[in-house]
Structure 1
Amino acid sequence: MRLDPADPAFSHDPYPYYGRLRDQGPAARVELANGTHAWLVTGYEHSRAVLADPRFSNVPPQRAGRPKPSSPAQRARACLAQHMLNTDAPDHTRLRRLTAAAFAPPRVDALRPRIEQLAAGLVTELTGRLTAGETVDLVDGFAFPLPILVISEVLGVPEADREALREWTYRVGSPADALPQGAVDEAWVLLHTYVTSLIAEKRKTPGEDVFSALVRSSAEDGLDDGELLAMAFLLLFAGYETTMNLLASASLRLLTHPGELTAARRDPDARWAAVVEETLRYDSPLEGATWRRAAETVDLGDGVEVPAGDSVLVVLAAANRDPAHFPDPDEFRPTRYLAAADGKRAAPHAAFGHGPHFCVGSRLARMEAAIALPLLFDTPLDLRLAADPMDLPYRPGLLVRGPRRVPVTIQAT
């Protein structure tokens, strides 16, 4: 079954394709659009098993894909790809320890007042534009600026740079076939240049931010210049992409499921958290985990063997729609994450991964959504989706997923 991640129809609704793969067994070997092959894991149990199995390495092969001549873009990409998601223990353990402290629960919880302030300011701005009769895109006006403002403050990134960074990270996270020729290569070079200059500035004028802390600790923790640049890139990219897609998808689901919005308004203490969890399951902001490589031949059961050296992708979005663990998985139903009479809830979703590479920023993403969504939807404005949801474009690729725009207006009185 050939897979083209740049196909707009697939990007909009990949779930029927993933369902057919899931029916084939623990993993299915597919042909990708670039002519290579990979194993896709789409079931819940096998996804969690692969993510926790050290026989599947996160270290990319030295010569992955088609041979390419050396270029500034290739060198920039190779440098920024040295981040911890592309490492195994013990390097991964060392690198993760440096970032885990920055996203420890007390530090994340201390951000709540600032997140509330930023979200309220954005809602006020949106309200003014909507009441003036504008059609507003909730992605550009809300889902993107909030997480990029938050992570910019945490990391120490100047606010003035956020639009350029959004464009560059969008490009490097998308299939090259979905963009104009050269756009991805240009973005890798621009990102490398930017991160290099930012780290140099932190060395010269350190602050109290995470990037400054990484610069200060790089020598004592054995973090070389390449790892430092890659760490900065990863934290920047992952720091807003997941939350942006979470906010955009949750907004779209509430606009198309008004009954769920009404229920959340009536019981905010329980329902908003359930909306966030169900969105993470139903519209996984991370479509797939990082690519893995079988370090040895692995028997996944049911007659499926992944040969040593083969590429493997755990599809988190598919695992979260596995009917064996989520009844009626293609229905948006936040009540599945409310405690039932017997105290049971739905199975934990896999939106943030599993095992040693579980997302260190999951607590921050959840908190931003739990703060921002009630502020957006608890206004007196009667928000209405200003487009057919079937016509909304989605981000292409297998890494991150979310609507590229969610246009809204208010009900005329």
Structure 2
Amino acid sequence: MLDPLDPAFARDPYPYYASLRSRGPAARVRLANGTHAWLITGYEQTRAVLADPRFSNVPAQHAGRRKADSPAQRARACLAQHMLNSDAPEHTRLRRLTAAAFSPRRVDAMGRRIEELSTQLLAGLAKRLKEDGTTDLVDELAFPLPVLVIGEVLGVPESDRNDLRDWTYRVGSPTDAFEQGVVDDAWIRLRDYFTALIADKRRFPGDDLFSVLIHDATDGGLDDDELLAMAFLLLFAGYETTMSLLASASLLMLTHPQELAAAISHPERWPAVVEETLRHASPLEGATWRRATEDVNLEGGLTIPAGSSVLTVLAAANRDPDHFPDPDVFRPDRHMPGSPGLRARPHMAFGHGPHFCVGSRLARLEALIALPRLFAAFPGLRLAADPADLPYRPGLLVRSPRLVPVTTE
């Protein structure tokens, strides 16, 4: 049985995935909620499923445990109608409306602003360390930087961003992780917040992406329900994965001092550090759930029956030993050109196929700006806790340490 709420599993799910992979690249497992699903753990099979239109992203009606009608359930259903839960041609239309905002030119133009925000946050980090002697990198950097960046992209007021962080954290975790009603309350608050934000942008449009989406008539534009869902998706995806990337990369650097010293001495290594973090500690543990619309034969003669729930486990595919030598070892060298004995293979931290993460370039840019500045500003930075004791976020969607406590020598 797979129990995503188990703290030991959340901290280190890789032995479980390796055990599944030893039985084959896909396995049918029983989930803690009593349902069954197919988990895809092989690299090639993950790529195949993510690109195969026979695996639909549209959730089946009444999938999982049936929930009674309620205001929270209606809010959840409305916000869940985003493009990750759609197939072509609807997905193609929705993605086209947002892709221009994340073009290489626009993303790269945000570099200077990301530098300014990083400098401000690191000043706050220095103050906290001086006053308290210790602080948490998640609260001081990994969360605020991406939420400030995506908040500016979307036009979300800075004063609202902590509430949005709390609400999206709740809805992105298993319901059983909280007391009854906590997750339902978050869905309602998110729906109500974005409803008010849409009304405000209609009256007072700005130059932010959300204002553009609200007033854009291209391809018929977005109706109110689509706008609500798009706002939720862009906010959630816009900072959750980057927050996880920054938290995991910081932790890996602090627990691999030789790699940190090499990156500080040779700044050209930072892109390899970021790519290896994405592979080794995939911010997205699994892609969105899919459903087989017909019997599908995977490589090796395995058949996924029609109607099956399917989860491609990106974290497992990125540690497939058939594609990544020493997959459990953090080795940025594997992404450096000309590294002997290592095969540089593309990881799937941002997915694959038509649902490949539209914000991947922005996430990389934030990490490439923030991480070198963090360790240059605090050369004596070290962990203030045993890494084995750090709590991790539960669930199968986003994976990262919930806190990275640090101090200075």
Using structure 2 for the length normalisation, give the TM-score: 0.98
Amino acid at match of 2:41: T
In 2: Cα distance, 1:275 partner to 1:219 partner: 39
1:401 counterpart residue number:
399
* 1:219 Cα offset (Å): 7.3
* 1:220 Cα offset (Å): 5.2
Amino acid at match of 1:227: E
2:334 counterpart residue number:
336
2:13 counterpart residue number:
14
Q: Report the secondary structure of 1:147's partner residue.
A: helix
In 2: Cα distance, 1:218 partner to 1:394 partner: 42
Q: Report the secondary structure of 1:207's partner residue.
A: coil
In 2: Cα distance, 1:62 partner to 1:350 partner: 29
8 Å Cα contact 1:287/1:317 also seen in 2? yes
In 2: Cα distance, 1:400 partner to 1:109 partner: 25
Residue segments in structure 1 that go unaligned for 5+ positions in a row: none
Amino acid at match of 1:204: R
Runs of 4+ in 1 over 3 A off after TM superposition: 341-345
Q: Report the secondary structure of 2:3's partner residue.
A: coil
Q: Does 1:292 align with 2:290?
A: yes
Q: Report the secondary structure of 2:377's partner residue.
A: coil
2:234 counterpart residue number:
235
2:280 counterpart residue number:
282
Q: Report the secondary structure of 1:301's partner residue.
A: coil
> 343, 360, 363: which one pairs with 1:362?
360
**1:263-322: per-residue Cα shift (whole Å, max 9, x none)?**
001110x21011000000000000000000001000113332111111000000000011
In 1: Cα distance, 2:402 partner to 2:197 partner: 28
8 Å Cα contact 2:45/2:299 also seen in 1? no
Residue segments in structure 2 that go unaligned for 5+ positions in a row: none
8 Å Cα contact 2:292/2:308 also seen in 1? yes
8 Å Cα contact 2:333/2:339 also seen in 1? no
Amino acid at match of 1:279: T
**1:322-372: per-residue Cα shift (whole Å, max 9, x none)?**
111111111111111100168985100000000000000000000000000
Q: Does 1:225 align with 2:228?
A: no
2:194 counterpart residue number:
195
Amino acid at match of 1:331: V
Which moved further from structure 2: 38-47 or 124-133? Answer: 124-133
1:85 counterpart residue number:
84
Q: Identify if the C-alpha distance between structure 1 residues 6 and 344 changes in structure 2 by more than 3 Å, giving closer, same or farther.
A: closer
Amino acid at match of 1:324: D
In 1: Cα distance, 2:280 partner to 2:201 partner: 39
Amino acid at match of 1:330: D
8 Å Cα contact 1:293/1:310 also seen in 2? yes
8 Å Cα contact 1:133/1:409 also seen in 2? no
In 1: Cα distance, 2:301 partner to 2:109 partner: 50
Q: Does 1:106 align with 2:105?
A: yes
8 Å Cα contact 2:286/2:311 also seen in 1? yes
Q: Does 1:310 align with 2:305?
A: no
2:269 counterpart residue number:
271
Using structure 1 for the length normalisation, give the TM-score: 0.97
**1:40-63: per-residue Cα shift (whole Å, max 9, x none)?**
000111000100001100011122
8 Å Cα contact 2:334/2:342 also seen in 1? no
Q: Report the secondary structure of 1:284's partner residue.
A: coil
Q: Report the secondary structure of 1:408's partner residue.
A: strand
* 1:134 Cα offset (Å): 2.4
1:161 counterpart residue number:
160
8 Å Cα contact 2:325/2:343 also seen in 1? no
Which moved further from structure 2: 368-377 or 335-344? Answer: 335-344
Task: Write out aligned runs for 1:139-154 (5 A).
Answer: 139-154=138-153
In 1: Cα distance, 2:219 partner to 2:344 partner: 44
* 1:68 Cα offset (Å): 1.9
**1:172-201: per-residue Cα shift (whole Å, max 9, x none)?**
010111111111111111110111111111
Q: Report the secondary structure of 2:220's partner residue.
A: coil
Amino acid at match of 1:171: R
* 1:381 Cα offset (Å): 3.9
2:344 counterpart residue number:
346
**1:101-147: per-residue Cα shift (whole Å, max 9, x none)?**
01000000110000000001111111122133421100001100000
1:66 counterpart residue number:
65
Amino acid at match of 1:140: D
Amino acid at match of 1:225: D
**1:366-394: per-residue Cα shift (whole Å, max 9, x none)?**
00000000000012540010000000000
2:324 counterpart residue number:
326
In 1: Cα distance, 2:100 partner to 2:143 partner: 25
Amino acid at match of 1:147: P
In 1: Cα distance, 2:342 partner to 2:8 partner: 36
1:54 counterpart residue number:
53
